Structure 1
Amino acid sequence: MKKKIIALSVTGILALGVITPAASTALAVGNGPSYGGNESIQTSNLYTYDGMVEYLKKQDAKQDALQLEVIGQTVKKRDIYLAKYITDPSNPTVLFLTQQHGNEQLTTEGALEFIKHLGTNKTKGVLENVNILIVPMLNADGAMGDVNFSLEDYIADGGRHLTRYNAVGTDLNRDHVDKIQPETQALHENVLQKYDIDYMIDLHHQGTDYERDGKLVSGSMLYPTNENVKPEVLEKSQKLGAVVFNAVDSTGWGHIGKYNGGSGENIGRNGAAVQYDIATLLFEMRGMSDHEDPSRVIGQKSNGYLIKQTITTLDATVRAIADGSIETVDYSFWDTLATQTIRETE
């Protein structure tokens, strides 16, 4: 019999709704801002929180290897979900984290598609050798624009506005030392501290106009850069980056640069590496789903390949961990990978 969802500190399950471009919930209608009069992102084509929950539960019912766990709740009491594939606790474990920032959603779209992918024969033999944890849409309140601070800086078109911050205006990716927000507490207490995690990829979005070698980048990466990260953890992180770089940059449509990020322990990739000795990688996809700066907004035409880029990243990672090839991968490319000249805010 299929197991039931495990709930931690749950006050109740929210009402569910199926999200489709033709039949979206009221919170998901409307177009995002346009850039140059074209490529306007339609937030109605992205999963709402309720739509994501419905999707996860359907996959849970179909996949024997999948187990859903509620790890906590957001400020606005939305349950935060963890999708687990744990065949053998002694196997290496990888965590994929999406949408710490609510306006960076295409990585969540890709992660949900990857979950469906894990239920097919395409990954036969992989799940026996690696444990996979996926936290999609950590910042569900920001993803739904359900916030307690002013949105005057966002273009008011009457639709759903995805926001970087959580409901009380906190950047969750700056809360990994103090751990004040319930979303960050849930991630640390019920995932990072609960499971023996070897690798983590934190998936984000960045601006749209960065180049490497004269070509527009489709994303960028960075290992932990805090001075307190152990050398062996840093090496594992750089190997993790090599696996992703080799898989994505070789496609012809994916072009990866080195992210210009900070070294603070309060940032997720640094905090997890310092506090739990987890090999971490920040992966930044090109463009955002909604932003007060129109130049940073991805266009509808970009959605497909960016979602595919996420799936490629996750698939290559689990395969390399499962077959052990991550241990011997050449990571010397980091020495020559061009760094973005503009400092981003991961």
Structure 2
Amino acid sequence: MNKLSKKMLALSLTGVMTFGGLTTVSLPASAVGNGPNYNGNESIQTSILTTYEELVDFLHVQEAKQSALELEVIGETVKGRDIYMAKYITNEDNPTILFLTQQHGNEQLTTEGALEFIKHLGTGKTRSVLENVNILVIPMLNADGAMGDVNFSTDNYIADGDRHLTRANANNYDLNREHDKATAAMQPEARVLHENVLEVYDIDYLIDLHHQGTQSERDGKYVSGSILYPTNPNVDPAIVEQSKKLGAVVFHEIESKGWGHLGKYNGGSGANIGRNGIALRYDIATLLFEMRGMSDHTNPSAVLGQKSNGYLIKQTVNTLDSTVKAIADGSIHTVDTSFWDTLPFQTTRPAEEGDE
């Protein structure tokens, strides 16, 4: 087993996850939004997280193994790291979904899940899916922040390990506040996302994967995550409806597992935010998914104990898996969206910070 495989195995409480919901090992009861918080005693180790270099090695290994996979370097970060996109395009007329992770460098477990998902796309179980949907995955947009290679101090970040992970890019900009600018005025990572992906590929759906803090709850229980469609008033209502359908697939998938517990994210309507600006600018159906707990932060209430890593990675895999299946078989068009009418906005226990 190589170093990356060992790390990904250590991250999962349930062992290696299988694509398509075939996992037979049960998650602990405490997984439902109740993984341990950082309390000043538990060690939060960034050293168990995949580094940028390991991610690049992993992607090249998978490209060599998978005939359907093509890697594209869409541009560079501030510090000159190549930004990779994994592409599965079998028919340009197929609907296309883009999965985006780590606009914020300290939100990494969705990246771990995206890598697991890419690995399982190379198995024989996925052939029919790949015949009917195109998949794009950008598994680490903010690689400088993910590596803590930034032009500002990280002394106040609390995790232990071989590096700190920062929300901002190397220039201390929040990449998820760049999406209403002229592309020439954007930070490098956001600019190449727009110029080399969103303006080039005919994308129908996008899931923007993030992490929030640990103190959000719904119905008196901590959530395992929260979701939201575009809320900018100028987004085409038809795109909002498609976004709600995308969210419905995710909601029904996660809630059906018995351990997931989702709330409605209380997010802003500004066009600078990805789920709003991208929907407005390109008529792409977008969904924000905020997983519970971050990998590093200056605020202890935002960081989740690493014993919860397994179920959060699994939640990511289930999300990506369920949406590509629903798009491939067309069931996304008839999914029940009525839950949005009654899904409460999550509320916040004391000391929480917002994210998106």
Same fold (TM over 0.5): yes
Deviations 1:74-115 (A, max 9, x none): 000000000000000000000000000000000000000000
Alpha-carbon separation, structure 2, partners of 1:137 and 1:309: 18
Q: 2:213 is matched with which residue: 192, 204, 207?
A: 207
Match of 2:16 in 1: none
Q: 1:70 is matched with which residue: 65, 68, 73?
A: 73
Question: Does 1:96 find its partner at 2:99?
Answer: yes
Deviations 1:195-234 (A, max 9, x none): 0000000000001121111221000000000011001000
Shift of 1:157: 5.3
Q: 2:202 is matched with which residue: 193, 196, 200?
A: 196
CA contact (8 A) 1:93 1:131 kept: yes
Question: Does 1:307 find its partner at 2:310?
Answer: no
Q: 1:158 to 1:48 in 2, by over 3 A?
A: closer
Match of 2:52 in 1: 49
CA contact (8 A) 2:147 2:165 kept: yes
Match of 2:157 in 1: 154
Gaps of 5+ in 2: 8-36
Residue pairs, 1:1-346, within 5 angstroms: 19=4, 35-155=38-158, 159-178=162-181, 179=183, 180-342=186-348, 344-346=354-356
CA contact (8 A) 1:39 1:301 kept: no
Shift of 1:19: 4.4
Comparing 40-49 with 264-273, greater Cα deviation is found at: 40-49
Deviations 1:17-50 (A, max 9, x none): 954668xxxxxxxxxxx82244432111110000
Comparing 73-82 with 204-213, greater Cα deviation is found at: 204-213
**1:345 is aligned with what amino acid?**
D
Alpha-carbon separation, structure 1, partners of 2:115 and 2:90: 20
CA contact (8 A) 1:222 1:282 kept: yes
CA contact (8 A) 1:72 1:186 kept: yes
**2:347 is aligned with what amino acid?**
T
Shift of 1:298: 1.6
What is the DSSP-based 3-state SS (H/G/I as helix, E as strand, rest coil) of the residue aligned with 1:114?
helix
Alpha-carbon separation, structure 1, partners of 2:307 and 2:319: 20
Gaps of 5+ in 1: 1-16, 23-33
% identical equivalent positions? 72
Q: 1:120 to 1:38 in 2, by over 3 A?
A: farther
What is the DSSP-based 3-state SS (H/G/I as helix, E as strand, rest coil) of the residue aligned with 1:51?
helix
Shift of 1:169: 0.1
Count of aligned pairs between the two proteins? 319
What is the DSSP-based 3-state SS (H/G/I as helix, E as strand, rest coil) of the residue aligned with 1:201?
strand
**1:91 is aligned with what amino acid?**
N
**1:248 is aligned with what amino acid?**
I
Deviations 1:291-312 (A, max 9, x none): 1111211212101110000000
Alpha-carbon separation, structure 2, partners of 1:99 and 1:120: 25
Alpha-carbon separation, structure 1, partners of 2:160 and 2:251: 38
Q: 1:283 to 1:157 in 2, by over 3 A?
A: closer
CA contact (8 A) 1:92 1:129 kept: yes
CA contact (8 A) 2:218 2:347 kept: no
**1:306 is aligned with what amino acid?**
L
Normalized against structure 2, the TM-score is what?
A: 0.87
Deviations 1:44-82 (A, max 9, x none): 111000000000000000000000000000000000000
Deviations 1:154-206 (A, max 9, x none): 23857300000000100000011224211001100111010000000000000
Alpha-carbon separation, structure 1, partners of 2:3 and 2:53: 7
CA contact (8 A) 1:21 1:44 kept: no
What is the DSSP-based 3-state SS (H/G/I as helix, E as strand, rest coil) of the residue aligned with 1:124?
helix
Give the alignment's Cα RMSD to 1 decimal: 1.6
Match of 2:15 in 1: none
**2:114 is aligned with what amino acid?**
A
**1:136 is aligned with what amino acid?**
P
Q: Which has the higher contact order (CA 8 A, sep 6+)?
A: 2
Match of 2:33 in 1: none
Alpha-carbon separation, structure 1, partners of 2:308 and 2:102: 18
Shift of 1:153: 2.2
Comparing 203-212 with 308-317, greater Cα deviation is found at: 203-212
